[in-house]
């Protein structure tokens, strides 16, 4: 156990026994700053440009503070040196546990070594930290299944498959394009693998045609998941591969921000109405939920960040009380050095009809927020 945690727990126990001996009320016998409630959890989030990370940061902070912990929450503006520096500072300021959603999954080995040297447990939040033995736990969603769900939503949107997995009426051939996330994010590979395993049989039998021929993750990845870069790539694809009357029928997009860039490029090229291509997504960002409600974007994958934050807090508390957090997967996430014990949450596909039952009735968004396309 972390030395500071032991000391804090020890003093708290001493304070309690002193209070018991003297008959004083709780808290009157010791120094408040020595109680476990004064432990600090450092929370390092990648960026505030995507609303999901703001929601994640806020949820983790609120849940930890509700339990009385101190929280040092930092956002790194998608800049790797900034994140390294922020984690370094959390360590020097005496964090007792670190919860980190990495920008580049391979860039934090030095910081994690410093954390291990100071006996600070590290929880990788949603994105696995790679190439380090010092990742103690991983909380995330089933990322392979996210990719399967995205590809399935593309097939359903095109009518090749029905929502219950049966063969659909549509035969194709359909022209599609593929997008992937940032190559330095471990999740991007899981999403793409899940999607490609699902789409491959349909590409092989000619139902789907990737008109550009770009089917390798290196060809379709978007660095730092940037919306503008996705828009630019879609514009380039339209110019290079759709200049002779061929129409795009569908786009596999792994994240709502990329989907919005792709949609803008398609709209600027004149796509509209019933002929608008099927575009997938992820994260149920409010602007995209509105686009789904308006019939522009076809689907998104909802990952309830409230549940993920809860798991991070449960894991953090387990470390603070010297228990191993409960894992439900001890096989899938090899970070290059070891298999990191993980807690994976399920995901849900959201089409227009699912907005009310899944997002509004669960309190994730209000009907007004969906109508406005803006949270808060």
- Which residues bind to ligand BGC, rule: CB under 6 A? 50, 52, 126-127, 181, 185, 187, 225, 255, 282-283, 303
Per DSSP, the three-state class of 342 is strand
Alpha-carbon distances of 373 from 2, 75, 226, 254, 292, rounded to whole Å: 45, 24, 20, 20, 10
Q: Measured from the CB atom, is 104 or 185 closer to ligand BGC?
A: 185
**Tally of CB atoms within 10 A around 267:** 12
Cβ atoms of 249 and 42 within 8 Å: the answer is no
Radius of gyration of the chain (CA): 23
User: Coil, helix or strand for 340?
Assistant: coil
Could you say which DSSP state residue 212 is in? T
What number of helices (H) and strands (E) belong to the chain? 12, 12
The residue among 202 and 225 lying less far from ligand BGC, judged by its C-beta, is: 225
The closest of 78, 70, 73 to 96, measured between CA atoms, is 70
Assigned token pair, 147: 């990719």
In angstroms, give the least distance from the CB of 48 to ligand BGC: 11
CB of 287 to ligand BGC, least distance (A): 13
Nearer to ligand BGC, 11 or 348 (CB): 348
CB-count exposure of residue 11 (10 Å: 0-12, 13-18, 19+): middle
User: Which candidate, 164, 89, 225, places its Cα nearest to that of 233?
Assistant: 225
Q: Give the shortest CB-147-to-ligand BGC separation in angstroms.
A: 11
Least Å distance, CB 130 to ligand BGC, is: 13
d(Cα 121, Cα 85) in Å, to the nearest integer?
Answer: 18
What is the smallest separation between the CB atom of 358 and ligand BGC, expressed in angstroms?
16
3-state secondary structure of 365: coil
Q: How far is the CB of 185 from ligand BGC (least distance, A)?
A: 5
Query: How far is residue 136's CA from residue 289's CA, in Å, rounded to a whole number?
Result: 35
Q: What is the 3-state secondary structure (H, E, C) of 220-278?
A: HECHHHCHHHHHHHHHHHHHHHCCCCCCCCEEECCCHHHHHHHHHHHHHCCCCHHHCCE
Residue closer to ligand BGC, measured from CB, 207 or 259:
259
Cβ neighbours, 10 Å, residue 177: 25
Between 50 and 349, name the residue whose CB sits nearer to ligand BGC. 50
User: Nearer Cβ to ligand BGC, position 248 or 347?
Assistant: 347
Specify the residue for token string 């609303």.
51
As measured in angstroms, the least distance from the Cβ of 350 to ligand BGC is: 14
CB nearer ligand BGC, residue 207 or residue 280: 280
| Shortest CB 8 distance to ligand BGC, Å | 33
At closest approach, how far in Å is the CB of 144 from ligand BGC? Answer: 12
- The gap from C-alpha 187 to its chain's centroid, in whole angstroms, comes to 8
Nearest CB to ligand BGC, comparing residues 233 and 303: 303
Q: Which residue is nearest to ligand BGC (CB)?
A: 255
Nearer to ligand BGC, 52 or 130 (CB): 52
Residue whose CB is less far from ligand BGC, 96 or 184? 184
Q: Which residues pair with 349 in a beta bridge?
A: 301
CA distance 349 to 300: 6
Nearest distance from residue 26's CB to ligand BGC, in Å? 42
């Amino acid at each position: 156990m972390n030395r500071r945690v032991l000391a804090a727990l020890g003093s708290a126990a001493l304070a309690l026994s002193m209070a018991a001996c003297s008959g004083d009320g709780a808290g009157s016998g010791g120094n408040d700053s020595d109680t476990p409630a004064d432990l600090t959890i450092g929370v390092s989030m990648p960026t505030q440009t995507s609303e999901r990370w703001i929601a994640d940061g806020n949820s983790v902070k609120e849940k930890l503070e509700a339990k009385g912990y101190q929280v040092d929450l930092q956002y790194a503006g998608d800049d790797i040196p900034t994140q390294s520096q922020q984690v370094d500072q959390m360590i020097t300021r005496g964090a007792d546990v670190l919860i980190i959603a990495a920008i580049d999954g391979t860039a934090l080995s030095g910081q994690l070594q410093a954390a291990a040297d100071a006996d600070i447990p590290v929880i990788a939040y949603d994105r696995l930290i790679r190439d380090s033995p010092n990742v103690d736990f991983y909380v995330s969603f089933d990322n392979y299944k996210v990719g399967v769900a995205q590809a399935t939503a593309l097939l359903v949107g095109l009518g090749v498959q029905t929502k219950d997995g049966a063969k659909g009426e549509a035969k194709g051939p359909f022209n599609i394009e593929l997008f992937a996330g940032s190559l330095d994010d471990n999740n991007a590979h899981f999403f793409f693998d899940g999607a490609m395993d699902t789409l491959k049989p349909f590409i092989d039998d000619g139902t789907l045609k990737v008109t550009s021929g770009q089917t390798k993750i290196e060809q379709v990845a978007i660095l730092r998941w940037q919306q503008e870069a996705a828009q630019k790539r879609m514009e380039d694809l339209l110019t290079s591969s759709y200049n002779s009357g061929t129409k795009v029928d569908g786009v596999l997009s792994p994240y709502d921000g990329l989907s919005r860039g792709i949609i803008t490029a398609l709209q600027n090229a004149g796509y509209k109405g019933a002929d608008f291509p099927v575009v997938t997504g992820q994260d149920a960002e409010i602007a995209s939920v509105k686009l789904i409600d308006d019939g522009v974007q076809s689907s998104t994958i909802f990952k309830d960040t409230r549940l993920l934050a809860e798991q991070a807090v449960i894991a953090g508390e387990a470390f603070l009380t010297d228990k191993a957090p409960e894992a439900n997967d001890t096989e899938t996430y090899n970070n290059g050095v070891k298999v990191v014990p993980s807690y994976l949450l399920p995901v849900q596909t959201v089409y227009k009809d699912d907005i009310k039952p899944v997002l509004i009735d669960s309190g994730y968004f209000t009907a007004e927020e969906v109508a406005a396309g803006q949270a808060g």
